[in-house]
Amino acid sequence: MRKLLVATHGRFASGIMETFKLIMGENEDISEISAYVEPGFDMQKEAEKKIHELNEEDELIIVADIMGGSIANTFSSYIQSEKIHIITGLNLPLLIGLAQDLDSDVSTDELIENAIQMGREGIVDLKKMIEENSDIEEDF
């Protein structure tokens, strides 16, 4: 079974999950870590706990806030395992893309590739897009 873990510095993870649930509803295959919020938080211990919770047939896709940050770096020590995947640059279109095909038949590589494309294409300059569309309309 594929599972998602949304993991960030601070309450970005719990915040985006609140927003995700408003749009997509509850999903028990998605968990979250808001790191360094509680005193004594230990990222290494949290990562180990999440990895050890996995069953034999599970895969875990970790979605982290930023490349080079301590969340992505801590989990990257597990990346040799076929069961562990890490994506950085968490945004809502990426998360929706991952969640909506999480239990579908597409391969994990394809799932990740499609969701990354959704995440990237969802970052849009709306003013530019509206101006370009109005240019197209004027051309016809």
* Minimal distance, residue 103 CB to a copy of itself, in Å: 20
* Minimal distance, residue 6 CB to a copy of itself, in Å: 11
86/76 Cα distance (integer angstroms): 7
Site residues, a copy of itself (CB under 8 A): 8-16, 18-19, 21-23, 34, 36, 65-67, 69, 72, 76, 79, 84-94, 96, 112-113, 116, 119-120, 122-127, 130
**Residue 138 burial (10 A CB sphere; 0-12, 13-18, 19+):** exposed
Identity of the residue, 106 or 130, whose beta carbon is nearer to a copy of itself in the bound complex: 130
Identity of the residue, 48 or 66, whose beta carbon is nearer to a copy of itself in the bound complex: 66
Half-sphere exposure of 61 (CA within 13 A, CB side): 27
Identity of the residue, 48 or 88, whose beta carbon is nearer to a copy of itself in the bound complex: 88
Identity of the residue, 99 or 112, whose beta carbon is nearer to a copy of itself in the bound complex: 112
* Minimal distance, residue 123 CB to a copy of itself, in Å: 3
CA torsion angle 107 113 117 118 (round to 10): 40
Of 66, 48, 78, nearest in space to 7 by CA:
66
* Minimal distance, residue 21 CB to a copy of itself, in Å: 8
12/35 Cα distance (integer angstroms): 9
